[in-house]
Structure 1
Amino acid sequence: MYPTIHHHADGHPGSIATTGLPEHIPKQPYVPNPLLSPHVVAGRVSGRWSTGLCHCCDDPANCFITWFCPCITFGQIAEIVSKGSSPCAESGTKYALLLVTGFACLYSCFYRSKLRSQYDLEESPCVDCLVHFCCETCALCQEYRELHSRGFDMGIGWEANLDRQQRGVTVAPIITSGMRR
């Protein structure tokens, strides 16, 4: 029902009830649209990383490469996170030079922060700089796995991933055997 409208003697409306809104509005349940909401990505709740910091065994090949040559993994991460503005080879070379001086963790923690802000991820298990200072290879592996789980093919770079996305080509999901929680 709508609010009562009082009419003057000449037939013109006078005042409307205090709210000006219908007295009864049917309530509909709120259902978030994953396409419009940045907080729902591929069925995941925002804030959570797809894997833990020490889950390097989830991708042993990347763990091996990152352990022996972290500049490769970092370059791949930097290219995707910067959306192509920092090419893999350029970022990896800068990282390698900074690795010699001991300041590579400061450079890489900047990209972790940028990745977290792009995907609304929690700062865990502690602040980004400490994660990279104490567990550099684990942090790089986690960031690599996160981007991979979000559909990026880390070996082909930003432009090729963007082209795939525009053509509608998706990466096949990885199916693991057994039950997992």
Structure 2
Amino acid sequence: MDSYPETKETKEGLSQPPQYEPQPAMSIPQEQSRVVVTSRQGRWKADLFDCFAVPGLCIKTCFLPCLTYAETKEKMNSNMDFRTNCLCYCAAVYTGFDCCLATVTRGEIRGQQGINGDIVEDACTHLWCGCCALIQEHRQFDDEPSE
């Protein structure tokens, strides 16, 4: 069994390899996404464990995380008002789904701000460092850059 392609005979009796037709180039459609350009593209403005840098926000988040969550959602231009976001977070805490709700919100923030990461990282961050994550997300929308 010969697996080589057939060759063509020329006038001189020499054989030439077959000519292949060029194939059309494949193109992958590019997704368009909303990305807000910041000075630190791809990164959070504040580090995760920088939560004590703003003491008032830290105390408020430790005792009333629903307020910090609702303020962050308000800064994100959420389609729900402050009170509704606050009540949603309280209901999530009561039912044990606060980590899930906060993980989804963190993913929305990353998408809106062009920050690198994935859902597993977001879930782990809120599972083990929930208050610090809420503070970091809140500080992402501060006007002055945090270094």
Normalising by structure 1, what TM-score? 0.57
**Of residues 114, 135, 141 in structure 2, which corresponds to 1:141?**
135
Offset, 1:118: 0.6
Runs of 4+ aligned structure 1 residues displaced above 4 Å come to none
5+ residue gaps, structure 1: 1-37, 152-172
Return the offset for 1:80: 2.1
What amino acid does structure 1 have at the position aligned with 2:68? T
Provide the aligned length of Structure 1 versus Structure 2: 112
**Which residue of structure 2 aligns with residue 68 of structure 1?**
63
Deviation at residue 45 of structure 1 after TM alignment = 3.3
The answer to which structure, 1 or 2, has the higher relative contact order (CA under 8 A, 6+ apart) is 2
Deviation string 1:8-55 (CA, Å, 9 cap, x unpaired) is: xxxxxxxxxxxxxxxxxxxxxxxxxxxxxx5742xx231111111010
- RMSD of aligned Cα (Å): 2.1
- The alignment status of 1:132 with 2:134, answered yes or no, reads no
1:47 maps to 42
Structure 2: runs of 5+ lacking an equivalent: 1-34
Secondary structure of the equivalent of 1:45? coil
Q: 1:50 is matched by which residue type in structure 2? A: K
> Whole-Å Cα distance in 2 between the matches of residues 39 and 91 of structure 1?
23
- Tell me the residue number matched to 2:29: none
Q: With the length of structure 2 as denominator, give the TM-score of the two structures.
A: 0.69
Q: Percent identity?
A: 28
TM-aligned CA deviation for residue 96 of structure 1: 0.6
Q: Which has the larger radius of gyration?
A: 2
* Cα distance between partner residues in 2 of 1:131 and 1:45: 20
Offset, 1:56: 0.9
Residues 51-85 of structure 1: CA deviation (Å, up to 9, x unaligned): 1101012111001000000000001111222x141
